[in-house]
Structure 1
Amino acid sequence: MTVPKVGIRLPPCAPAGHLVRTVRRAEELGFDQAWFPDSQLLWRDVFTTLTAAALGTERIGLGTAVTNLVTRHPAVLASAARSVAELAPGRLTLGLGVGNSSVGPIGLRPSTGAEMRSGFAQLRALLNGEDWDFGGTVSRLREPLPVPLYMAASGPRNLRLAGEIADGVVLLSGVSPEPLAGASARVREGADAARRGRVPLVASAFCAVTDDVERAARRLKPICASIAQTGGARALALSGIELDVPDRVDGVYPDLVHAEDWDRAVEICSRWVSDEAATAFARAFCLFGTAGEIRTRLRELGDGGVGGVYLQHVGSYDLPEELIETVGRDVLPALREDG
């Protein structure tokens, strides 16, 4: 039996002191990793947050899930990552994505595959102390420090690219067996094409420890609608969830996944996502259920080749303190004993 590492997503939505206490509590309860998203208009700066977390903890792994190469130049990212890694030796993972919630609110476009490939090459070279030609100006990073580079991906092309260029992949397809297997296969294709070995996988999953999945699942409606809206309708259909969500949904700011008024977003998305569909989504794609059910799913993920799982609560502007407590108390101790 293989037990995956268990991480928690912590949006930088609170003052540093509050956030550090939360990370420290996750460390005390046995979480392996704390992942911080990066979106400059939604939250506090992710590297300032990581610095505070690094100074306030001793063991827990720290990472970005995720930053991007649009609002942050690769040279700036390399310096920031190296600086945090010095404070938390061996604990930092730099996760990168195309930039959705960072670029959309300021009218920029996400990174293309070619831009991701180039950015990864620049970052890796700089963090390894190699020279890089910036359009005729050759420079290098003083006192470099290598940092693992992970790529978040969901679509087939980006999954293959991640398998080709990244040190690890954050899978954004949830934990439903068929979509997860398909995503893992695309990563392997990319790794095989590049003649690389096995690429570590981290699966993201919304999580709630509850004995009333139907009630808790209603809050997932904006997440479910967003997946259907952005190319995930086929993956949902594999689990019997048929949705037809319009390309544009008015009345939600800044977007469905990061809605400031979550109750309003749930109400709006109820037009397309029924209670039954939300429950099916919670059971198939998320880790919603009793502590025992969640432990079983985590073991299955580990046995299926997933090396890490990072848990998310529903919401972007409060810390997942309740989730940390319930998972830390009711899930992790028995899971570790089994492992």
Structure 2
Amino acid sequence: MNLLGASQFLSFSLKVTAGILLLTGWKKYRRKSLLFWSFFFLTSSLSIVSEFLNINWGVPIFQAVGVSFLAGGVVTLFDEEALGFPVRALRIVALSLPFLVSAYVVVYSMVSPISRPMYLSYGITGIFYTFAGIFLWGIRKFYPRSGTLLSAVITAHGIHKMDYPFLRPVEWFAPIGFTLGAILNVLEVFAFFDIIFSERFKNLRKTEKPEVIREGVFIVSPEKFKAYANALSNFPVLAFSRKSELPEKWEVHLLTMIDHPGNIRPTQLHKIIERARGYLREAYLENVTGVVIVDGLEYLLMYNDFRSVLKFLATLSDYMAFYRGMLLLILDERSLEKRQVKILKQVLNIGET
């Protein structure tokens, strides 16, 4: 087997193996980003088969479908981590993508030694691949090492795919190009799994259960909350709060109108529910009592009427009952009307703290 064939076989094996492992991970954790990325690897492997079998139409088609699944997984990860869509990156795409695609086509038609439309479509896929890597830069807050590595590798791989239309017809470069692609595939798979096997992605750490943890919904005054924070400081709590000075091991999402990775706007109650549901499910599968803290009900009531907030809390309460979790509502009861406090306790079946 020559160098070209060996590189293709290595890339194919890596992609199929990664796709199957990610599919297995999706069955366990039910994170849709894993499902999209599984399809990304499996579909991309079919482009290698098409290249090997000289099925010309298969290379660009499977590359295009693959990068669609890659981008879908990136957007889904942003949603799962409640990061919000990076508006700045979207603006850059809107302003530059049409020009870059057009310029790429023009340069190819002028410079390419052999004009092959099939090769050109492969290169255009590389442009979208590159932008997917740029978007991934936004996850570095929660995945500092693995997120940075994955963003860099995907971006580099996209740039490498963009040279395909120009250099694929060059016989002496083809083995080098495929070898470089195989190396990037190895790094790509490593970076994906570095994220997936991280404690953050799996949501939970194996820790001893603090005595203060009980199943149900509880109202805690701001004064008592300090004691709870100390008792739960080493437990993987999921907190939605106006405060950033909370235990380091907690997953904290700030409730604010300021857009930033991890922040949640007070009007985005659905994002709190979705993140809490995913966290509680993982806790339940690990046989751990998940603890969710909502600190800032008064702030939420500034932007939503009481009925909307009550519905939101009732949904959270239902998930607590289903997944046997604990919900702590940090609230000074004097900030609400007595009638509202009474309704709140009745609807949520508030326990005694």
Normalization by structure 1: what TM-score? 0.26
Quick check: which has more Rg, 1 or 2?
2
Normalization by structure 2: what TM-score? 0.25
More strand by share: 1
More helix by share: 2
